[in-house]
Chains A and B, each alone.
Chain A
């Protein structure tokens, strides 16, 4: 905590010091590059870089704060499960009128989609950027196909609703598989 606070203070001091140095003088006509006192600027930047090093260390330690990460991660898994279940229900009930589908998507899909998106950084903390990118590729495709099924339902194109929901379902299954693989490898 102290390391994080110190990192923040040094980073912002460095940034403000550098900004101040950069705008402290009007243009020096005969030697324009002398307008910025580069020594002061470099010193401020060095302070900022020390702050960033401390911040990054604090962040690494934060990643090891298992309780916090676990709480965020459980939102990821639960919202993904909830979403998959809602989409599966829709896939199994393709004969329903489009108005019902529209309302069901609004009521049952919107919230888990938002929850997953809000907690997505837990994936970076737990598995790193590559797994995050792979999972988010699948999740974003799933969300886009849920959105497409909503649009198609609003316009009454039931065949497209069905196709889009199946694709969304496939992408969600891929996302869950990627997460379970990452869990095994962790």
Chain B
């Protein structure tokens, strides 16, 4: 072949097998169909997952479910043919569902606390104000995190394993039969594995390998039996390896050292890893997360400044009439959202209890808003690097700050009510921030326009608080939240922590020490290891160990089989592993609610009937 032939060959497109029907005209993306289907699917998921969270004590990530349901409804039933339209539908649905984890963790604590002497009035909070607080929190969380899209996704290229899984589902119509088979195979494998774990292991999903092999209990060698976690580790790749290292440092280094050289009390505790985590490592990890995130912001300042500069430049191009396409949400809109959000937060804090003074309300709103920014960065980075979000830890700090501000001049009940109303807003803000970044990653991979996704998130975010708070009231009226029928374990934990904060029982010294350590790692110049190691301190070691298996598999497969194998085979399988377990998790939650406990099913049915009448 001559040079000119080979040049010609390089500049031509070879024919491929199969055919795709040709369509002309605009590519459907942000359509009314996507909005309406997104609202409907989001409401369905929010009610299901929110209700399950009140009973089981944990919320389940709904993005994959939203993508699959959207795929079925839009493509299967409505014969729509746009990947990016389904992406908008998924963005809206998961934005609606974002309220289920945020609200069910925080607001029910007020009902539980109201059964304690002296706190009877805390359940009589102003409901429309609570809904407004949650919606305001959503707006603030989104306004703060949207400008970080460039830094986290474009510059740092964080993995967002959940976003990759959603994108793999969204792209499956065009990815070819092979990838679809790999995705389904992975989903089937993890679904069956999770079913087996649920059936055979009961409540304890850990394999205590260390105990079986006669290793000391302090080493805490247990594996969380979750194929999904291996998939998440695989998608995070070698970048996620430091997460496991955080756990190794705690249980393989510090615990043995503490057993020899720690104080008497600590040395006696080392053989109980759960206690070690709860009392020592987790508070230190929370502090580290904050220090690492703040240090990370300082270290990445040139990148953040550049991201803001480009958003400003995009706005100016539009102003000057240049025919440039603008993919970013106008920065002025975000500034306005933050300004108005802050003012509304002041109003919410001021009217939350009659005794509130304006000065205290301003302090609560300003500190709360600042915390939304810090915590939003922490959670968005954690979920980007590992797929786990320290939402509860960040909410805990928020409630601590708010109670410390409020309790100087208010009685205990008023302190709790005002702090929880503003705290719920912060919890929702953090939840929306992480969901937005995850969706923006999946959008990046399918080629969505960020601005449209960001508007879609706002379109969906307001609906969640309305639905979930209404559901919560209906269920509380029928069956008390905190009772055996609706135990709300997460809210019970927050309620007991709140009482602890009121009694000055907060390990501030350990948070402070952790913040210094996090800062140290953040300024080391070794990427995001501070946040990852901090998360390793914060999370159960069982999860970190299983996650590390995924990291190792990715490193080995990239080295021995090449990165192309990872992209072509590994990623679709890993995405399938996430999808399968997530779906079985949702299915199991609904099964537990409707079939395993008949009296709870009755409560649900009555609740749903009342909700449908009310709506």
Contacts and interface: CB of A to CB of B under 8 A. Distances in A.
B525 A98 contact: no
B524 A55 contact: yes
A155 interface: yes
Contacts of B263: 24-26
Contacts of A114: 563, 567
Interface string A23-52: 111110000110110000100010011001
Nearest to B299: A129
* List of 10 A-B pairs having minimum Cβ-Cβ separation, nearest first: A154-B174, A148-B447, A133-B306, A140-B154, A147-B447, A103-B16, A160-B27, A22-B513, A129-B302, A26-B265
Interface stretch (A64-72, A73-81, A87-95): A87-95
Nearest to A24: B262
Interface in B1-21: 10-21
A177 interface: no
B11 A89 contact: yes
Q: Interface size class for chain B?
A: 35 or more
Given A111-B564, A147-B445, A154-B171, A133 B266 contact: no
B514 A22 contact: yes
Contacts of A103: 14, 16
A49 B20 contact: no
A150 B155 CA distance: 22
8 contacts: A19-B249, A19-B254, A22-B514, A59-B525, A140-B150, A141-B154, A154-B173, A157-B27
A160 B155 contact: no
Given A130-B302, A130-B306, A144-B447, A158 B509 contact: no
B3 to A, nearest CB: 16
A18 B510 CA distance: 11
A178 to B, nearest CB: 12
Nearest to B563: A114
Interface centre among A14, A35, A136, A158 (most CB of B within 10 A): A136
Given A90-B13, A139-B154, 15 more contacts: A19-B284, A24-B266, A49-B520, A99-B20, A111-B564, A129-B303, A132-B155, A137-B307, A140-B153, A154-B20, A154-B171, A154-B175, A156-B21, A159-B24, A160-B26
Interface residues of A, number: 76
Interface in B258-292: 258, 261-263, 265-266, 269, 279-281, 284
Interface of A: 11, 14-16, 18-27, 32-33, 35-36, 41, 45, 48-49, 52, 55-56, 59, 85, 89-90, 92-93, 96-104, 110-111, 114, 117, 120, 128-130, 132-134, 136-137, 139-141, 143-160, 164, 167
A104 B14 contact: yes
B448 interface: yes
A155 B82 contact: yes
Contacts of B20: 97-99, 102, 153-156
Given A99-B19, A133-B306, A23 B254 contact: yes
B201 interface: no
A136 B266 contact: no
Contacts of A16: 249, 253-254
Nearest to B255: A23
A155 B447 CA distance: 13
B408 interface: no
Contact of A148 (B84, B261, B281, B310): B84
B325 interface: yes
Contact of B254 (A20, A26, A90, A129): A20
A101 B507 CA distance: 59
A137 B444 contact: no
A158 B84 contact: no
Contacts of A155: 20, 23, 27, 81-83, 173-174
B26 A151 contact: no
A36 B523 CA distance: 23
A137 B254 contact: no
A48 B522 CA distance: 12
Nearest to A88: B11
B22 A92 contact: no
A158 B24 contact: yes
Contact of A26 (B266, B325, B516): B266
Interface in B296-332: 302-303, 306-307, 310, 325, 327
Contact of B517 (A15, A145, A158): A15
Interface in B471-514: 507-510, 512-514
A101 B510 CA distance: 57
B446 interface: yes
